[in-house]
Every structure is written in structure tokens, then in C-alpha cells.
Structure 1
Amino acid sequence: MNPHSPSGASAARTPTDTTAFENAIYAKVTWRLLPFLFICYVAAYLDRVNVGFAKLQMLNDLKFSESVYGLGAGIFFIGYFVFEVPSNILLHRVGARVWISRIMVTWAVVSALSLFVKTPAMFYTLRFLLGVAEAGFFPGIVLYLTYWYPSSRRGRINALFMMGIPVAGVLGGPLSGWIMQAFNGVHGLSNWQWLFLIEAVPSLVLGVLTLFMLPNGIRVAKWLDDSEKQLLEENIARDEPAGADHSLKAVVANGRVWKLAAIYFCCMMGLYGVSFYLPTLIKAAGVKDALDVGLLTAVPYAFAIVSMILVARSSDRRNERRRHLALAAVAAAVGFYASTLHTGNLVIAMITLSVGTAGVLSMMPVFWTYPSSVLTGTAAAAGIAMINSIGNLAGFVSPSIIGWMKDVTHSTNAGLVVVAAALLLGAVLTLTQRAGASGAADAPASEPHRA
């Protein structure tokens, strides 16, 4: 049980009163936390994948091959992989406020420095350092949300937070396209250099604001009164499974954790195939102007926003995870494979890429209801980070394969077929999960962090 949980104060409430009281508290928490975390994730994802837009001009300016780009885009995830678990453990120990702020300020500086890239070695180095800087942000926020929400509410909350990815696409595509068109040659810098510099500014500002906006947990939230804190803490404590093992050793020895990492790897193969190559795929369909490419990249992400909300709500309402996750993976695979059948047709490309993008992004909020069903406490911090870091190695594999295959075949089609196959494998692995892992009811939360 949570050591901060008072007892007995809520016993006098009727079930109806308690439900209304509880819903009002969670609405309050959501409005306090989610808008800010959402904006932070938009900035994070934009800085991670804006290299996909920079590519449209950077490769020509620097005489880089597609293989150099693919390796550089993907090497981000090597640094991410190495430092993710230590970063999440430190967040759990020192608190989210300081650690998330540190992550955001560091990655903003490294992202801005990318404007100085001249050689492949410099490109690889800065992409690796960006991964090191950002390591722990996404799993740290996923962990942080378990301090506040029980498992029954987590699918929808995850969806609200993870909508930062498609929103970054909707907003970032036109913004990046406009920067690429409007700033070329200004003060002697190329458009891709301005892209890295301008899009690093929001992360820097948000990193500083995090110190003032993000409480470490329920107990230190000044905008909650004692009765509100009590109810939230009781729900968190009640959600924890009996006999849960909090040790780091339990994470490494848990076969379900490794299986979840494999499923997430398949999901990320699709996500980063889209993230790093969507502008290229749209350009290949016949769109040449950078601003037009940027505007059109918003379309698949707009579909994904709607899809994420609907799938997450359906999953929570039915208390079912496996089939929702597997069907989203299949839809993504079909969309990406279908996009290879009619290359050069813009309408078909937009439809198929929209289906693929919506499918792969709808997987994410449902998937992240799983890890807390088997992990709590420090083990949850390490386990969530481990699953995320292993899964995100696909961010290295996916663009590297697509880039290499494009150099060899002069087309992205073969790479997209590999991505589609990985997503189908993810669907199969998901359906082999134990029945007990499919529901929201057995997904406990981590204990709240101390001040």
C-alpha cells in the first residue's frame, strides 16, 4: 500500500458521490498535466525527426548518399538505447521535474548544433549525442503518468499524450516546409540549417518551464487538497498487484518483458519508417515544392489523431488490449505494403500512407497499457525504459534498411515491404500474449514518487 494514503475519510460517500468526485479529480489532474506534457512531446518528436525534412536539401548540399542519411537518422537510437534505462532509474530517484527539464534543455542544444554538420562523421556524432540527450524522455513520461492514473484510465491518457506524435506531424510538416522555403540563404545559412536552429527553440523554452510546471507526484501537487490526494493515492495503491517484484533483476528475468520489447520493436519499425521517410515518399509521388510536401505530410498524421483516440477509447471501454493492438498492426502493414503497388500516384499514396500511419500510431497507446501489468516501482522505471530502448532500436534498423535498399534498388518499395512484414510479425506476437495481459484491469501503476 502507498505509505502516504490516509484512511477512512472517503467511507461516508455514496458510490455515486464517489464516482463523481473521482471523475472531477482526474479531470483536474488531466487538465493540469496533459496539455504541458503533450506540448513537450510535440517538441521532442519534432527535434527527433526534422532530419527527414532537412534531408530534402541537406543531402545535395553535403553530397551525402541515402545510406549515409539512413545510418545517421538511425544512429540516434544507439545513444538512446545505451542511456535509456539509467536515465529512467535516475528520474524515478530524483524526480521528474528536474530530470525532464535536464533532458529537454540538453537535446535542444544538441539539435541546434546540427546546423554545423559538414561531414558524415559530424552527422553521425551529433545524431548519436541527440539520442543520448533525449534518452529517458518518453519512457520517463509513461512512468510519470503511472504515478497519477490507475490502469483503467491509462489507455485514454496514453493516447492523449502520444497524440504528440501525429500532432508534431500535422504542425511540424507545414512548419518545416515553410522554414525550408522561406529561410534558404538567409544570413548565409541553408534552409536545413535554419530548420535545426529554429525548431530547437521550443524545446529549450519548455525545458526551463518544466522546473515550474511539473510536480514530482501526487503528494507535492499544491493544486490538490488532502481529500483529492487521498483518493488518487488509494487508487494507485489498490492497483498494485499482490506479490509484485520491484527488483531490477526481475525485469531482466521476465520473459514477458522481452516479448513486449519485441512487439514494440515491430511497432517502431513502422513508426520510424514513416517519420524519416514520409516527406521522401510524398516527393516521390510527384510533389516537388518543399512547402507542398510539408502540407501533405500533415494529412496521414491528421488521420492518425482520430484513429488513436477511437482505438484507445474502444480498448478501454471493452477492457481488451490484444485484438486492438494486433488489428492496428495489421492495418499498418496493409497500408504500407499497398503504398508500394502504385508508386507515382499521389492520391493512392496519400490514402495508403494515411492507413499505414494511422495503424502504427494507434498501436502505441494500447501497447503502453501492458508493461505496468507486470512491473511496479523501480522495476517499472527500468522495465518501461528497457522495453522502449530495445523497441526503439528499430529507429536505427528501419531507416538504415530503407536507405540502403533505396541506394541499391533506387526505390523505397523494398524497404517498405520489410517494414510491413515486421508489423505483421508484431501482430502475431501480440496474439500469443497470455489472456491475462490483454485487459486493463490487471495493469497496476507504479508508486508515486516522493518530493
Structure 2
Amino acid sequence: MQTDVDVMRKVVWRIVPLIFLLFILNSIDRVNVSFAALQMNAELGFTPRVYGFGVGMFFVSYLLFQIPIAMAARSYGVRVCLGLMSIAWGLAAAGMSLVHTPTQFYVLRFLLGVTEAGFAPVTLYYYSVWIPARYRARVTSKNTIAIAVSIVIGAPLSGWLMTSTHTLGGLSGWRWMFVAEGLVPVLLGIYTLLKLPETPRDAAWLNEAERAWLLAKLDDDAATRTQHAHSTERVRALPRTAGSLRLWACAGAWFALTMGVYGVIFWLPQAIKHLSNFGDFTVAVLAATPWVFAGVAMWLNARHSDRHAERLWHVVLPTLVGALGLAASVVVGGGASAYAMLLLGLIGLGAAQAVFWAVPMDFMKGAAAAGGFAFINLCGNLAGLLGPNVIGWIRQSTGSFADVAYFLAVVLLLGALLLALALRARRADGPTGDGAGARG
């Protein structure tokens, strides 16, 4: 039989590329509204508050339907759920081309959130069915990279589609952009329904020895897994989790980081357009370029953090760099200097996000960890809901992006300080029994 590494290489090459591509398309359909806004807002008369509220509506349904759809995957199978979700979110994304009123905008963003809500947890569950625990971290890390890749690809693609199809058939370029980018996940969803193997038992490209080895590894993981504790144990752990100062600090820091990232994603194209006379394609390229550097920063900071076994300052310091970059982009004025500072800010945000989850993993153990991770992630989704609305209100009230940059810088500064003060204080006191922070 082949070596274990050879078997896993075969499994990864058969499973991961499709999921990675779906992640890219998922992210493109979520954020391409930021590029459509370059034409859409003016054409439809959408104010910054209307746009911000519509962007935030995605996260309302995303929060409400994430768990039910994830549970459905266990009943109906990952292949069916992933395939139908891809088709559904593609249709919802393409449906954005039909928007004419704010209400239609809100409804379609809400529907997009419904159709995308279960994608991340369902894919993580699928990996647990296929990938032994020893290899899982390096596989799931590709999901984070896919988000940066989606912006690097999706931004110039969106800009090109909007400019090249402008007034084609009497329709605006932004409408064609939604149609074109929405149809791709529909096609890939059909392929997923037809071709995605549900479990290793369904994979014709595994021989009997490979299948037996993989199933044995997965069975061993299931037997020794501690994170999926009994429900009664998780219930008893909830009071400890809720009482952890470090948990709340992590939740606050993740809220700040998520608000900063989504603030840049959803508003950067408009800010560049506002400060320049560039065309939509050039604006899209300029909005995408910083994410190339952010992706590199993610990899370098995570690697450096692993090498030195240090987590806290690999999150705090890049977050401070992110805050500094956003604030400095206003102070230095417009032009290349402001763009360079925005680039610095995004590098900081990307580097911080890449290492962040290693911080709560260091002190949350056992049954308390599951609830703690879910709570932190919930706070991040709340930032996605609140951030666009607050930024839209600031933008409409002041007519400037300067106050938006200052607001995001302050939020990031507070998140970094909260994380540093709470975790440093606990380490100085030594391990305690507070909530999720208690060790063995």
C-alpha cells in the first residue's frame, strides 16, 4: 500500500480544490456589492445609509439560519446541501441584477444570507468526514486564504464586467456583473450534486486498502475526540465560559477585527472613487491590490507565530498597525500616500486575523471551548451586521470618508487594548479558575 502521506495527498487533491473554489465564489458573491455600488448607488439613488443597511441585512439571515442549515447537512447529506446551497446563492446573487428599490435590495441581501448561512459549517463538517485530525489544520487554513484570493480575483473581474458590459442590451454594467458572477456557482452547484462523494465509502478513486486506512484513522479520531463532549457537559460548562474575562476580551477583539475588515471590504471601492477620477476597473484593481499583500502578511505572521510559540502580540501589534494605517490614511491627505497607509492598515488586519483563533485555543479547553468559539464567532457576525449600518450613518451625516477611517481606527485600537490588558493581566496572575480560562 502507498504511504500515509500519499493517501492523504490523493484525498486532498480530490476533495479540497472543489471546496476551495466554492469558498472563492462564496466570498465573491458576498462582497461584489461593494463594487456594484460604484454604479448602482448613483443610478438607483441609494444613500450611504440605504447601502449600509442593505449590506448589513445579509448578516441578519446569516446569523439566524447558520445552525439549522448546518444541522440539515447531517440529515440530508453534505453533497445535497452544498450543491443546493451553491445553486441557491448563485440565483440570489444573480437576482441582485433586478434591484430597483431599497426594499428589493434589502430582501435580496437577506436571501443571500439565508443561502450562504450554512456553507462554512457544512464544509467544516465535510472535512471532518474526510480528513483525519492530524491533517485538518493545514486543510482548513486554506479557507481563510480563499477569502483573500476571492477579493484579488473578484475585484478586477467585477470592475471589468461592469465597464465592458456598460449599457449592453440597455442594462447597466453592474447588473451584468451580478448575472455573470451569480451563474458560475449555479453551474458548480450542479456539478457538486452530480460528482461530490459523500464519504470515503463512496469514492471510486480509493482502492480498498486506502479506504480501510482512511476509515480507521477517522474512527480513531472519533473515539478520542474531546471537543464533542456530551450535551450535558457542555451545558455545565456554559457558566464558566460566560464568566471568563479572557473570553470577553477575545470576543471584543474579534468584533473589532471583523468590523475593520468588513468596513474596508464594503466601503474601500467607494472611498477610492470619491478621492480620485479613476474609472471603475482601475478602482477595482486598486481596491484588490492591498489584499495581495494582506494574504502574504497572513502567511508570514502565522508562520512567525508558530515558530516562536507566541500568539497574543502577533494579534495585538498587527491590529495596532491596522488602526494606525487607517488613521494615517486621513492624516497624510489624498493620493499615493493615503493609499500606502490603507495598504499598511490592511496588512495589519490580515496578519492579525491569521493568528487570532490561536489565542482562545490556548486557554479554552474541553467542553467550554465549543461554546466559547461559537460566542466569539457570533460577535464577529454581529460586527458584520452593525458595522455597515454605523458606517453608512457616519458617511451620510458627514459626507466624508475621513470620519469612517477614524471610527474604524478607534474600534481597532480598543479591541487591541482590551485583548492585551485582559490576557496580560491573567498571565501575570498565573492560571486561575475563571471560566473557560481555567486549565486542567
Q: TM-score range by the shorter chain?
A: 0.7 to 0.9
Written as runs of structure 1 = structure 2, the 5 A alignment for 1:33-432 is 33-147=15-129, 155-217=137-199, 223=206, 224-235=210-221, 237-238=223-224, 240=226, 244-246=229-231, 249=235, 253=239, 254-255=241-242, 260-345=250-335, 347-369=336-358, 374=364, 380=370, 387-431=376-420, 432=422
Q: Is the CA contact (8 Å cut-off) linking 1:169 and 1:298 kept in structure 2?
A: yes
**Partner amino acid, structure 1, of 2:24:** V
Instruction: Give the distance between the partners of 1:425 and 1:368, measured in 2 at CA.
Output: 18
Aligned-partner residue type, residue 139 of structure 1: P
Unmatched segments (≥5 aa) in structure 1: 1-9, 11-19, 443-451
Q: Which moved more, 1:177-186 or 1:137-146?
A: 137-146
Task: State the Cα distance separating 1:225 from its structure 2 match.
Answer: 2.5
Deviations for 1:290-315, whole angstroms, at most 9, x for unmatched residues? 11111212210111221122223333
Cα displacement (A) at 1:411: 1.1
Q: Counterpart of 2:331 in 1: which secondary structure?
A: coil
**3-state DSSP class of the match of 1:225?**
helix
Aligned partners of 1:250, 1:328: CA distance in 2, in Å?
Answer: 36
Q: What displacement does 1:430 show?
A: 3.8
Report the Cα distance in structure 1 between the residues aligned to 2:37 and 2:83, rounded to whole angstroms.
29
**Structure 1 residue 232: Cα displacement:** 4.7
1:426 and 1:156 mapped to 2: Cα distance? 28
SS in 2 for 1:197: helix
Q: Is the CA contact 1:83–1:136 (under 8 Å) kept in the aligned structure 2? A: yes
Distance change >3 Å, CA 84–CA 260, structure 1 → 2: farther
Higher fraction of helix: 2
Distance 1:295 1:413 in 2: 22
CA distance, structure 2, for counterparts of residue 236 and residue 355 of structure 1? 43
Q: Deviations over 1:15-73 (max 9, x none)?
A: xxxxx944444433432332222111111111111111111111111111111111111
Q: TM-score, structure 1 length as denominator?
A: 0.81
Total equivalences in the alignment: 417
Q: Residue type of the partner of 1:183?
A: T
Q: Which amino acid aligns with 2:149?
A: V
SS of aligned partner of 2:86: helix
Instruction: Extract unaligned runs of 5+ from structure 2.
Output: none
Farther-moved stretch of structure 1 (278-287 vs 263-272): 278-287
Pick 1 or 2: higher relative contact order, CA cutoff 8 A, min separation 6: 1
Query: Offset at 1:239?
Result: 5.3
> 1:198 deviation in Å?
0.9
SS at structure 2 position matched to 1:159:
helix
Q: Return closer, same or farther for 1:251/1:93 CA change in 2, 3 Å cut-off.
A: farther
In structure 2, C-alpha distance between the alignment counterparts of 1:219 and 1:353, rounded to whole Å: 49
- C-alpha separation in 1, matches of 2:38 and 2:53: 16
Deviations 1:336-376 (A, max 9, x none): 2222222321x223322222223323334433456778588
Distance of aligned partners of 1:79 and 1:386 in 2 relative to their CA distance in 1, 3 Å threshold: farther
C-alpha separation in 1, matches of 2:400 and 2:226: 50
Q: Is the 8 A contact 1:335 1:352 kept in 2?
A: yes
- Report the alpha carbon displacement of residue 275 of structure 1 after superposing the two structures with TM: 1.1
Would you say the 8 A contact 2:84–2:193 is kept in 1? no
Q: Counterpart amino acid of 2:107?
A: T
Instruction: Give me the whole-angstrom Cα distance separating, in 1, the residues matched to 2:6 and 2:319.
Output: 34
Distance in 2 (alpha carbons) for counterparts of 1:239 and 1:228:
16
**2:161·2:173 contact (CA, 8 Å) conserved in 1?**
yes
Amino acid at match of 1:177: G
When normalised by structure 2's length, the TM-score is 0.83
- Cα deviation, 1:277-301, whole Å, max 9, x if unaligned, reads 1211222332421111112122101
Partner Cα distance (2:301, 2:348) in 1? 10
| Offset at residue 268 of structure 1 (A) | 1.1
- 1:7 corresponds to which residue? none
Question: Following the alignment from structure 2 to structure 1, what is the Cα–Cα distance between the partners of residues 91 and 146?
Answer: 21
In the aligned structure 2, how far is the partner of 1:150 from the partner of 1:331? 37
**CA 1:191 to 1:131, structure 2 compared with 1: closer, same or farther past 3 Å?**
same
Distance 1:342 1:43, change over 3 A: same
Structure 1 residues 338, 303: CA separation in 2 closer, same or farther (over 3 Å shift)? same
CA gap of 1:412–1:22, structure 2 versus 1, over 3 A, is farther
Tell whether the 8 Å contact from 1:402 to 1:412 is kept in structure 2 after alignment: no
SS at 2:408 equivalent: helix
